[in-house]
Amino acid sequence: MTSSAGDVIEGRYRLSQPLGKGGMAEVWAAVALDTGDEVAVKILREGAGIDSELGRRMRREADLVSAIKSPRICSLLGSGVWKSRLYLVFERLRGEPLADLLEREGTLPFAEVAEIVSGILDGLSDAHRAGVIHRDLTPWNIFLEGWDSDRKIRLIDFGISKAAQGESTITNQGGTLGSYGYMAPEQAKAAHEVDERADIYAVGVIAFQCLAGRVPFESGDPYAALSLKAQVDPPTLGEVTAETWPADLERFLRAALARNRGDRFPSAFAALTAWRAVVAKNQQARTRRHAATAQPREDTHTETMTAAPRGAGPGRRPRGGSR
């Protein structure tokens, strides 16, 4: 960390403890001196100039997040420059990223996945309505605020987001931005050309991982995984887990993870509507995971909501957007 606990930013925010560090910035818990409220301060990494690509990306994040009005999005409270470094002030969230929960549990019961995916798509609907595409939805950028029945799903880290119209030159032509395990096939070719359907693909990956314990395409070589996405249809939950899953759930994932974006849901709202129908149809389904030794069901005509044996998901990586 290049900042220290006790530092006071422009006489307004006192840093208390580090929350995370990424390639673009470090994130600190802090206290607003005028109100006593706890906040999270994202500070551009030292040495990255205000007019650098990272600096421009951070300013764009502030502009785009400010444009979204949604209880599902972590709110921007302020911004400024401190010691020649840009900083953004966000509301402080208490809880954990979805990545931590998946690392701890491996797979999740459908009832929990239903809540998480609904919250993500609800937040995306608001973001897309405001003309903002996230482009880096991963379990690290899905924050589970609170616990149990009071938990809320929040979307964070819009650091590589783009406007649906009028994209700036921050993203180079043909450049790749995002996390390869969750990236839509077209995003790997040209991040500047993606639309809302790239975010829908990422939601499909996250839902698949929550239920199966792994992402659809796994490889030690990111480029091999990206190549597979462009050439091969993703596996089904049944193929990965050797268990029977509801046909409507498999259809939802097939649409969300379609290689051709024209075959995906046309909008986050359309995906949310379809997901709610899946949840409603299976609301009486089982919510307990099978043990890792669970055997495939012989009756393939019976639709039951199960969760997959635990699998090795993608490794944990620190993210600067954790709150």
Cβ contact 152:118 at 8 Å? no
Domains and CATH numbers, the chain: 8-91 (3.30.200.20), 95-281 (1.10.510.10)
Instruction: Tell me the three state secondary structure of residue 271.
Output: helix
Cβ contact 275:110 at 8 Å? no
Residue 73 DSSP label:
B
- Confidence at residue 51, expressed as pLDDT on a 0 to 100 scale: 85
Please state, in angstroms and as integers, the Cα–Cα distance from residue 235 to each residue in 206, 216, 228, 249, 258, following that order.
14, 6, 11, 13, 11
Mean pLDDT value across the chain = 83
Q: Which of 126, 136, 157, 199 is catalytic?
A: 136
- Confidence at residue 15, expressed as pLDDT on a 0 to 100 scale: 98
Question: pLDDT per residue over 90-114, tens digit each?
Answer: 999 999 999 999 999 999 999 999 9
Does residue 312 register a pLDDT over 70? no
β-pairing verdict for 85-91 and 38-44 = antiparallel
- Confidence at residue 171, expressed as pLDDT on a 0 to 100 scale: 36
Residue that wins the pLDDT comparison between 180 and 173? 180
Beta strands, E only, 151-191:
152-155, 162-163
Question: pLDDT per residue over 128-176, tens digit each?
Answer: 999 999 988 999 999 999 977 689 999 998 866 555 554 432 333 334 4
Name the residue among 161, 142, 147, 166 with its Cα closest to residue 73.
142
Residue 90: alpha-carbon gap to chain centroid: 17
- Confidence at residue 317, expressed as pLDDT on a 0 to 100 scale: 36
> DSSP string spanning 78-116?
EEEEETTEEEEEEEPP-EEEHHHHHHHHSS--HHHHHHH
Q: Which two tokens stand for residue 138?
A: 């991963």
What are φ and ψ of residue 112, in 5° steps? -75, -40
Grade residue 222 by pLDDT with cuts at 50, 70 and 90. Answer: confident
Residue identified by tokens 């998946």 is 102
Question: pLDDT per residue over 65-76, tens digit each?
Answer: 999 999 999 999
- Confidence at residue 284, expressed as pLDDT on a 0 to 100 scale: 59
Told to judge if 122 belongs to the known catalytic residues of this protein, a careful annotator would answer no
Instruction: Tell me the three state secondary structure of residue 26.
Output: strand
CA angle in degrees (0–180, nearest 5) for 258-261-264: 60
- Confidence at residue 283, expressed as pLDDT on a 0 to 100 scale: 73
